[in-house]
């Protein structure tokens, strides 16, 4: 039987047993609608408020600044479209390497008459705070820079950007979906006004996320209807999902340090070994400012997609660029933005490690990558031409 080694934690994660246990009562006997008056409803209401406290506590926010949503994409869209609706034809600053939930929303807003600046990044995928400062204009109403990139794992200088935004009196949003629960975040120290997060990237359930909205910031409601989420997002709460999100966040915050040490140890080992054992390979992203679990390689002369298919036959789940772009012939916008030529962008594979992965799994993966990359190169015309040229 082939093993099953999951190395795609940036795409999604499985729900932890403790999280499932937290959710189950609200799918079964505790089914009350939090808006109703009886005891049964009160217990659902309490579960939602406890989750709100757990999430707020982990990022230095107040519980009433946390608004539950249907996920990271929804939170991103809420901010961008909400701010744009308050300030039509004004200016938004973002980057070329955002998740499509931000980029495609920005492109749509441009068609509606908003002005957009897409900041470039350096070869490690970093945007500089100085560039952000220079891009600010009198009509700038929002800066949206992701906390950490989902493809190459680069962590942005969020604190510096926050300081610049605050000084310029411009709102600062960060898509922290990859960072939340994985690296320390303090919304006050970092001057973050708005922040998106999603439960399924930290061992919580899919289809639930949150938007942090700093007290006093004006954002129009996302969904009009009942009074849920302080009249900002109507609709009966996803109580089991929210309770699971709260538990996942609590676990993530309380174990962050050891987990991050363990995972980044495995990541560094994987990177070191792959670069040492597989020739003509490069690491994409930053060596130092990188999410604990992220490794992204380009294996010259091969197609990343072909490697993925072969890795799958060996029981290894990995991804080319981002899950959202799998199957698309266009190279990843992130790899293009860091300056990779098309061939190297198409030759890339992302492996993202989680807490349940073991050293043995990483060793097995390294072995398979070595074997499969050389097998693919044996049938590669480019590799053939290259080796001939080398004589
Ligand atoms: C996964 C992801 C999203 C989307 O979150 P969903 O909850 O799946 O909608 C947004 N931004 C980043 C950086 C992500 O990694």
The residue whose C-alpha atom lies closest to atom 5 belonging to ligand 1 is 72
Q: Which atom of ligand 1 is the closest one to the Cα of 198? A: 7
Average pLDDT over residues 125-142: 98
Domain boundaries of the chain, sorted by first residue: 5-13+256-390, 17-254
75-to-31, 69, 233, 352 alpha-carbon distances in Å:
26, 6, 11, 23
Is residue 37 within 8 Å of residue 226, measured between CB atoms? no
Of all residues in the chain, the percent with pLDDT exceeding 90 is: 96
CA distance 244 to 347: 37
218-273 pLDDT per residue, tens: 999 999 999 999 999 999 999 999 999 999 999 999 999 999 999 999 999 999 99
**Could you confirm whether 324 is annotated as catalytic?**
yes
344-364 pLDDT per residue, tens: 999 999 999 999 999 999 999
361-to-17, 128, 182, 321, 353 alpha-carbon distances in Å:
21, 36, 21, 21, 10
Domain at 17-254, CATH class: alpha beta
pTM above 0.75, yes or no: yes
Tokens of 136: 């600010």
List residues forming the annotated binding site for pyridoxal 5'-phosphate: 72-73, 150, 178, 198-200, 236
The mean of the pLDDT values for the chain is 96
358-383 pLDDT per residue, tens: 999 999 999 999 999 999 999 999 99
146-200 pLDDT per residue, tens: 999 999 999 999 999 999 999 999 999 999 999 999 999 999 999 999 999 999 9
Pairing of strands 294-299, 348-352: antiparallel
pLDDT the model gives residue 327:
53
The residue whose C-alpha atom lies closest to atom 3 belonging to ligand 1 is 72
Residue 101 pLDDT > 70, yes or no?
yes
pLDDT the model gives residue 2:
80
Taking the centre of ligand 1 as the mean of its atom positions, its distance from the CA of residue 73, in whole angstroms, is 6
Residue 322 pLDDT > 90, yes or no?
no
Taking the centre of ligand 1 as the mean of its atom positions, its distance from the CA of residue 197, in whole angstroms, is 8
Average pLDDT over residues 329-349: 95
Contacts of 179 (CB under 8 A, 6+ apart): 147, 148, 155, 185, 291
Q: Which atom of ligand 1 is the closest one to the Cα of 76? A: 10
Q: Which atom of ligand 1 is the closest one to the Cα of 209? A: 7
pLDDT the model gives residue 321:
63
- Select from 3.90.1150.10, 3.40.50.2020, 1.25.40.10, 3.40.50.12780 the CATH code of 5-13+256-390: 3.90.1150.10
Could you tell me the pLDDT band of residue 1, with boundaries at 50, 70 and 90? confident
Taking the centre of ligand 1 as the mean of its atom positions, its distance from the CA of residue 97, in whole angstroms, is 13
59-96 pLDDT per residue, tens: 999 999 999 999 999 999 999 999 999 999 999 999 99
CA distance 198 to 207: 8
CA distance 222 to 235: 11
190-210 pLDDT per residue, tens: 999 999 999 999 999 999 999
Taking the centre of ligand 1 as the mean of its atom positions, its distance from the CA of residue 118, in whole angstroms, is 19
φ and ψ at residue 220, rounded to 5 degrees: -70, 155
């Amino acid at each position: 039987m082939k093993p099953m080694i999951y190395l795609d934690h940036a795409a999604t994660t499985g729900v932890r047993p403790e999280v499932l246990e937290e959710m189950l009562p609200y799918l079964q006997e505790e089914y009350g609608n939090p808006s109703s008056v009886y005891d049964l409803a009160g217990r659902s209401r309490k579960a939602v408020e406890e989750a709100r406290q757990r999430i707020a506590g982990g990022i230095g926010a107040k519980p009433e600044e946390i608004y539950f949503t249907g996920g990271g994409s929804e939170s991103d869209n809420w901010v961008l479209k909400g701010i744009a609706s308050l300030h039509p034809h004004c200016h938004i600053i973002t980057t070329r390497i955002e998740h499509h939930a931000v980029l495609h929303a920005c492109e749509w807003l441009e068609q509606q008459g908003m002005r957009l600046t897409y900041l470039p990044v350096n070869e490690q995928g970093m945007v500089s705070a100085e560039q952000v400062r220079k891009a600010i204009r009198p009509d700038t109403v929002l800066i949206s820079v992701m906390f950490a990139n989902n493809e190459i794992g680069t962590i942005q200088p969020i604190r510096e950007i926050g300081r610049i935004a605050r000084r310029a009196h411009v709102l600062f949003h960060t898509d922290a979906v990859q960072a939340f629960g994985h690296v320390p975040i303090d919304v006050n120290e970092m001057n973050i006004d708005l922040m998106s997060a999603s439960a399924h990237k930290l061992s919580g359930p899919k289809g639930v996320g949150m938007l942090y909205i700093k007290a006093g910031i004006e954002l129009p409601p996302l969904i009009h209807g009942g009074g849920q989420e302080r009249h900002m997002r109507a609709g009966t709460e996803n109580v089991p999902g929210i309770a699971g999100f709260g538990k996942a966040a609590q676990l993530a915050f309380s174990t962050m340090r050891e987990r991050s040490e363990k995972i980044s140890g495995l990541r560094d080992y994987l990177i070191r070994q792959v670069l040492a054992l597989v020739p003509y390979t490069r690491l994409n992203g930053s060596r130092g400012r990188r999410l604990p679990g992220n490794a992204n390689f380009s294996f010259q002369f091969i197609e990343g997609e072909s490697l993925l298919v072969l890795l799958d036959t060996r029981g290894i789940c990995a991804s080319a660029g981002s899950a959202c772009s799998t199957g698309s012939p266009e190279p990843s916008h992130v790899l293009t933005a860091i300056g990779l030529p098309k061939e190297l962008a198409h030759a890339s594979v992302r492996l993202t490690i989680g807490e349940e992965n073991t050293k043995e799994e990483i060793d097995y993966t390294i072995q398979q990558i070595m074997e499969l990359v050389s097998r693919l190169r044996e049938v590669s015309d480019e590799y053939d031409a290259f080796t001939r040229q080398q004589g």
